[in-house]
Amino acid sequence: MRGPVTFRVVAEDPVTGARAGELHTPHGVIETPVFMPVGTQGTVKAMAPFELTEMGAHIILGNPYHLWLRPGSDLVASLGGLHRFMGWSRGLLTDSGCFQVFSLGDLRTVSEEGVAFRSHIDGGRCFLSPEDSMRIQEELGSDIAMCFDECVALPTTPERSRDALERTLRWAERCQRAHRREDQALFGIVQGAVFPEQRRECAERMGALDFPGYGIGGLSVGESHEEMYAMLEVTNAVLPRHKPRYLMGVGLPENLVEGVARGVDMFDCVLPTRNGRNGTVFTRRGRLNLKARKYLRDEGPIDATCDCYVCRHHSRAYVRHLYRAGEILAARLCSWHNLHFLLRLTRQLRGAILQGTFQTLRKEIGNLRNETDAVPCDF
């Protein structure tokens, strides 16, 4: 039986795990690999929906934790759901809210039933269970909902990771039982920290639950890039080949390239807009901090290889001036460029897979980033 979200692989790289696919959702077809801009509170910071459409975004994220606390998922539902509420007609994925809750540290307490915590807005007592997460995501009406899971901070012990892994699997079964919305797909999430055997086991057991897609969680939380890549290789070797794989919270350009090489189809991260608000931009040679004095008279674009609106119309000197003057446009332009950069990068990776040139593009990008005049992408 076909569900509301289906996936098919249309091409694969013969050497690596890279693949191009099509993710069919109630709000359109999404070509993968794909980067998904993050709209935490019903908006991708500094960007209007039509701008995201024009730069080629076909799916974005919303965050149930934030939208539940403010303005309330029931209110969003009464106004027609999150698509209508935010004026977005394309694909929409909501995460479970668990990462935000677990980021609260000492302000939350985990039990088998769920997580008790204090609101970051007013300090009020709150509680979220797997069933609550399903209800909230159903009220928001996203195309793809995520299971409620437990993410552990690194470094951690095998024992602590094992506890979280087992709880994540038990919560996944509760999410499956609670999820009712027929026009919304529910993805499971693989945990296991940086322990290969735990990752492999979790992927096997989560795969047996037969979700229509799978998130890979608990990475980009303090481990090295090499550890991340090793966990991807272990996990994706086990997850079902015919279902989409979503690496959660990862958005550095080099991580996207290497994630795709290891079989990842979907990515999301707040870095493009967060860094943009702080004047840091992506380029094919690494990152630039446009607040630096050396760009005072720089007439060149942010990235000469980029075709975004910002690079076609504005100089580094102009953007630096906007930051120095405290103008809101500075954050908008840098966020615009960064989002476009990652969306374009995943389209280029997809094109190379289809054309059989993925390895060539991967090497070219790696060589550019390692030239002697490159600025390391070390944030």
268 in active site: yes
Query: Which of the listed ranges 119-123, 125-129, 168-172 does the model predict with the highest average pLDDT?
Result: 168-172
Model pTM score: 0.95
> Which is the catalytic residue, given 13, 95, 265, 303?
95
Residue ranges covered by each domain of the chain: 6-269, 281-360
Confidence of residue 376 (pLDDT cuts 50, 70, 90): very low
Q: How far apart are CA 330 and CA 67, in angstroms?
A: 27
Is 247 within 8 Å of 216 (Cβ atoms)?
A: yes
Active-site residue, from 132, 143, 265, 268: 268
Separation between Cα atoms, residue 131 and residue 41, nearest integer Å: 21
Q: Is 163 a catalytic residue?
A: no
Rounded Cα distance, 226 and 232, in Å: 10
In angstroms, the CA 212 to CA 222 distance is: 29
Residue type, 318: Y
Alpha helices, H only, 6-144: 49-54, 64-69, 73-78, 82-86, 98-102, 130-140
Domain 6-269 in CATH: superfamily? Queuine tRNA-ribosyltransferase-like (3.20.20.105)
The contacts of residue 306 (CB under 8 Å, 6+ apart) are 283, 337, 340, 341, 344
Torsion sign (Cα): 37, 43, 46, 51: positive
Q: Is the peptide bond before 376 cis (omega within 30 degrees of 0)?
A: no
The arithmetic mean of pLDDT across residues 20-42, rounded, is 97
pLDDT digit string, tens, across residues 164-221: 999 999 999 999 999 999 999 999 999 999 999 999 999 999 999 999 999 999 999 9
Interatomic CA distance for residues 149 and 214, integer angstroms: 12
